[in-house]
Structure 1
Amino acid sequence: MAVASVVLSAELPELDGSLRWSQLEAWAVAMRDEVPAVVLAAALEQAQDRLIDRVCGPRWLPVRDLPAPFACPGCGVMQDFARKGRRSRPRRIDIAVGVVRLHLANVGCRACGRVFAPLLLMLDLSGRRRTDRLAVDLAELASQMSFARAAQVARSFGAPASTGRAHHAVADVAPLLDGIGAAELIDSGASAAVVILDGTGMRAGPRRLGIACNIALGLTARSGPRRRRRAHTVLLGVTIDQPWAAMGEQLAALDAPVIVVVDGEPAITRLAETTWPDTPIQRCWWHLPRALRWALYADKAPHPWANAKRAELAELLRRTAREHRTHSQALHSYDTFSASITGAHHHAATELLLGARDQVFTCLLPEVRRDLAWLGGPELGSGVLERVMRELNARTDIGGSRWSINGLRDLVTVQLARMTDHPAWRTLRQNTHPFSTISYKISTPKFNAC
C-alpha cells in the first residue's frame, strides 16, 4: 500500500508567562478548519503522480501501451495514455471538513485524442463541486433548525456552508428518499401491530389555511422501564397536499395490523376501513373529548356546561383504564353519559357520540388485548404520532413564513426519514459515512533520542 507523507510545521511560542491556553486552543481550532482539507489534497496529488507514472511511464521517458485502472470516457480503452500536463486553475471541491483544492493532472488517449483528468474519473468527482457526505450533513442539520442556523453550525465545525447551500442540500437529498412510504423499504422483521393515522396543517402554498401533511406511523415495539416506556415506530406512509385516499396505495401492500388508531376524521376512518376491512378501529381518547367540545360549540351549548361535559368524558375514559373495566361495563358508562347529551337536545354532539360508540372501547375487546399483550397493551390514542407532528410543526412554522409546496415536501421527507430512522435514510447514511479503513500515524520528533 502506498504511503503519503505530509509535513506540518508550526511556530509555537515558548512556554512563558505570555502564553495562554486560549491561544493554543485557537491554534487547534484553526488547524481543525484548514489542515484536514490541505492534507487530503496533498495526499491525493501524491497518489495522482504515482498513478500517472504507472500508466504513462516516467516523465521524460514515456512508455507506450501501459494498462490503466480506468477507461477513456471517449472510446473506453484502458491502455496507451500520454501525459498532457496540469491544469492551471485548481479544482475546488467542498467536503465535510473544508475546501479541497486539487491541482489536477491530465492524460490524453492516443486512440481517440480525448484529454481528461483520471483522478476525477476514478473518484467519481467529474462535474461535482460538493460531496454527498457534506450534502447529507447539511440536510440533517437543516431538518432540525433554520437554513441560516444550520449553515452557521456547519461553519463552526469547518464545513463550507451557507444558507443557500443548506437549502440546496435538502432539495438534493430528498429525491434519494422519495420512496420512504414504499412497503418494500420497511424492515421485514418490524411488523406494525398498531397503525396510527393522523394529519397536521402546514403553512405552504397559496391557500390561506395552508396544506395538509398526512402521516401513517406503525408501532412495532416498546422498551424501557415501566414508567418511562419508549415506543419503537416505523414510517408507513406520508403525503403532502393530497387527500387521505392518496395514501391507500402506500398502505395497501402492508400486512393488516391488529388495530388502527384514528382521530375520528371521516376521511381517515374511511381509509382505514377500505384498506383493512377486517381490522378493528380505535378512536383516539384525546381527540374524542376535544371533538365533543367543538360539537357542543356548534350546538351553541352554554360554555361552562360544555367544558364540564368535556371534562366528564375525559374522566370517564381515564376511569375506564384505571379501574380495568370490561368492554360491556365501559359501554354502559358511555351510554349513560351520551344520554345526558341527548336529553339536552344537542344534535351535533349526539351524532358525534353515537358515531364513535363502536370505536371508543375497541382496545378493551378480549381478542385485541390478547393479540397486543406482547406490546404491553393496545394504544389508546395518537400521542406517539402527535409528538412527531409537533417536531414537524416546530421546524416548519417559523415566524409566519410560508413555504413552497415542493420545498416543504423535501424538508418533511428528510425530517421524517431522520426522525423515524427509516431504512432509506439508514442506507444513505451508511453509504456516505463509512468507517475509515485507511490507517495513519502521527510522528513527533523526540529530543535527546539515541
Structure 2
Amino acid sequence: MPTISVTLCAEVPELAEGPGALSWSMVEAWAVAMREEVPAAALAVSLEQVQDQLIDRVCGPRWLPVRGLPAPFGCPGCGVMQDFARKGKRTRARRVDTSVGVVRLQLANVGCRDCGRVFAPLLLMLDLTGRRRTDRLAVDLAELASQMSFARAGAVAHSFGVPASPGRAHQAVADIAPRLASVGRVELGGPSRAAVVVLDGTGVRAGRRRLGVNTNIALGLSARSGPRRRRRAQTALLGLTVDQPWSAMATQLAALETPTMVVVDGELAVTRVAELTWPDVPIQRCWWHLARALRWALYADKAPHRWSRDKRGELTELLRSTAREHLTHAQALARYDAFVDSVRAEDHHAALELLTGARDQVFTCLQPGIRHDLRRLGGPELGSGLLERVMRELNARTDIGGSRWSVDGLRDLITIQLTRMTHHPAWTTLRQSTHPPNPIDFKINHLKFNAG
C-alpha cells in the first residue's frame, strides 16, 4: 500500500514569562484552529498526491508518455479502459463540502485517445462527479436537523469547522429522507413483525389548514432489556403517514406478520384500521386515553365539576389497582361494571356510551393467553405510553416558535427523526455506508534531537 507524507509546520512561541509567551489558552486556541483547518487541508494534499500517482500509472511519466497503459477506470464517453493522455490541471480548484470542512482539489485531467473525451479521473474514482457535498456530511446535517432547528443545526456544525448553514441543513433533510424509502414497506427491507403494535397520532402545524395535519404512527414493541426497574423497550417503526387518513395506514400494516396484541387510543378510525387489518388479534384500549376521554365525556354531559373529578380519579385508581393487585380478567371486569353502574345511575349518556363501548377492550391485557404470549416482554402493554413519549419528542422538534411547515418538509423531517430514534434498518444501513470504520493507518512523526 503506497504511503503519503504530509508535513505540518507551526511557529510556536517559547515557554517563558511575560506577554506573548506560550500559554495553555494559546495552545488550546491553536488546537481549535487546527481542528477546523488542518483535516480538510491534509485531505486535499493527500488526494492530490494520490491523483499524481494515478496519472503516472495510467499515462506514464510526465515527459515520457507511454501508450496503451491500462487504467482502473473507464472513459465516461466510450468506456475504454486504456490509452489515456495527460491534459494538464484545471486552473480553478474544485470545492467539495465534507464532514471535515471544505476540501479544495486541484484536479488533473486526462484525455481518451479513442473518443477525445477529457475528464478528471479522481472524481470518477471517488464517485464525486457532479457533486459538491459528500453523503456523510448530508447525513450528519440531517441528523442534527432532526434534533434541533435548522438554524441551530447549522450553527453547531459550523462551530466544528463543518461547512453548514440553516439552508444546507434544510437541504440535507430533503436529500436524505427519500433514501429511507423502506419506512412502512416490508418488501424494501422494513421491519416485518412486532409482538405488540401501538397505533396513535398527533397533530402538527403544517399545510394550509388552520389546525394543521395529522401524523399517524405505527410503532412495534419487539423486546425489552436492562435491569428490572430500568427496562428499556426495543421498538420498530412499522408505519408512518402524514396528512393522510388512518385508512392509508392499512396498506403499510397489511404486509406485517400478525402481532399478538394491538394497542389503540380509542379513536374510532384507529380501532377500525386495527380490526380490518387483523380481525382475530385482540385490541387493548389505552388506560390513559380512557381516563382522559371520560373527562371530556362528562364535560359534554354537563356533570358537576366535583363529581366529575372524583369519577376520573376513581377510574384511574381502579385501573392502577387492577395491575397492582394482579386481578384476573373476570375480577377486573366485575369492578369495572360496578363503576359503570355508578355512572349509569346519574344518567350521563356520553360517559356511559364511552365506558360501555370500551368494556371489551379495556382489560384485554389480563387475558391468560395474552399474558402467556407476552411474558417474554415483561408483561403486556397497558397503554400507548411507549408511542406517546416518541410523539412528545416529535412535537418538541416541530412546534418551534409558531412556525408552520410544508407537508413535504414535515414528512421528510419526521421520517429522519423516527428512523434515527427507532434504529430503523434503513437508517442503520445508510449510516453504516456513510460512516465506515477507518481502514487507513496513520501516525504523527516528530523529530528527536540527540537521538542515538
TM interval, shorter chain, is over 0.9
- How big is the shift at 1:2? 1.2
User: What corresponds to 1:144 in structure 2?
Assistant: 147
Asked whether the equivalents of residues 186 and 234 of structure 1 are also in contact (C-alpha less than 8 Å), the reply is no
- How big is the shift at 1:378? 0.6
Asked whether the equivalents of residues 248 and 271 of structure 1 are also in contact (C-alpha less than 8 Å), the reply is yes
CA distance in 2, matches of 1:125, 1:374: 49
Identity of aligned residues (%): 74
The one-letter code sitting in structure 2 at the alignment partner of 1:159 is V
* 1:78 pairs with 2:85: no
User: What corresponds to 1:51 in structure 2?
Assistant: 54
Asked whether the equivalents of residues 191 and 238 of structure 2 are also in contact (C-alpha less than 8 Å), the reply is no
User: What corresponds to 1:9 in structure 2?
Assistant: 9
The one-letter code sitting in structure 1 at the alignment partner of 2:256 is L
Q: 1:201 aligns with which of 179, 200, 203?
A: 203
Asked whether the equivalents of residues 191 and 237 of structure 2 are also in contact (C-alpha less than 8 Å), the reply is no
Asked whether the equivalents of residues 224 and 378 of structure 2 are also in contact (C-alpha less than 8 Å), the reply is yes
CA-based RMSD: 0.9
- How big is the shift at 1:268? 0.5
Asked whether the equivalents of residues 182 and 190 of structure 2 are also in contact (C-alpha less than 8 Å), the reply is no
The one-letter code sitting in structure 2 at the alignment partner of 1:11 is E
User: What corresponds to 1:27 in structure 2?
Assistant: 30
User: What corresponds to 1:181 in structure 2?
Assistant: 184
Asked whether the equivalents of residues 237 and 424 of structure 2 are also in contact (C-alpha less than 8 Å), the reply is yes
* 1:281 pairs with 2:283: yes
Structure 1, unaligned stretches of length 5 or more? Answer: none
User: Could you give the per-residue CA deviations for residues 169-219 of structure 1, whole angstroms, max 9, x where no partner exists?
Assistant: 00000000132111242456xx41111000000010000110000000111
User: What corresponds to 1:125 in structure 2?
Assistant: 128
The one-letter code sitting in structure 1 at the alignment partner of 2:216 is N
Asked whether the equivalents of residues 178 and 413 of structure 1 are also in contact (C-alpha less than 8 Å), the reply is no
CA distance in 1, matches of 2:255, 2:439: 40
CA distance in 2, matches of 1:183, 1:308: 47
The one-letter code sitting in structure 1 at the alignment partner of 2:177 is A
The one-letter code sitting in structure 1 at the alignment partner of 2:417 is Q
* 1:168 pairs with 2:180: no
User: What corresponds to 1:95 in structure 2?
Assistant: 98
CA distance in 1, matches of 2:68, 2:282: 73
The one-letter code sitting in structure 2 at the alignment partner of 1:328 is A
Asked whether the equivalents of residues 183 and 251 of structure 1 are also in contact (C-alpha less than 8 Å), the reply is no
Asked whether the equivalents of residues 135 and 173 of structure 1 are also in contact (C-alpha less than 8 Å), the reply is yes
Q: 2:318 aligns with which of 316, 333, 337?
A: 316
Report the secondary structure of 1:286's partner residue: helix
Asked whether the equivalents of residues 12 and 22 of structure 2 are also in contact (C-alpha less than 8 Å), the reply is no
Asked whether the equivalents of residues 98 and 158 of structure 1 are also in contact (C-alpha less than 8 Å), the reply is yes
TM-score by length of 1: 0.98
User: What corresponds to 1:263 in structure 2?
Assistant: 265
CA distance in 1, matches of 2:366, 2:443: 64
The one-letter code sitting in structure 2 at the alignment partner of 1:105 is A
Q: 1:341 aligns with which of 316, 340, 343?
A: 343
User: What corresponds to 2:70 in structure 1?
Assistant: 67
User: What corresponds to 2:117 in structure 1?
Assistant: 114
User: Could you give the per-residue CA deviations for residues 341-397 of structure 1, whole angstroms, max 9, x where no partner exists?
Assistant: 112111111110110000000111111111111111110000010000000000000
User: What corresponds to 1:218 in structure 2?
Assistant: 220
CA distance in 2, matches of 1:352, 1:183: 36
Q: Which moved more, 1:328-337 or 1:416-425?
A: 328-337
CA distance in 2, matches of 1:368, 1:54: 68
Aligned residues: 448
- How big is the shift at 1:19? 2.1
Report the secondary structure of 1:268's partner residue: helix
CA distance in 2, matches of 1:62, 1:259: 72
CA distance in 1, matches of 2:5, 2:230: 53
The one-letter code sitting in structure 2 at the alignment partner of 1:289 is A
Q: 1:356 aligns with which of 355, 358, 364?
A: 358
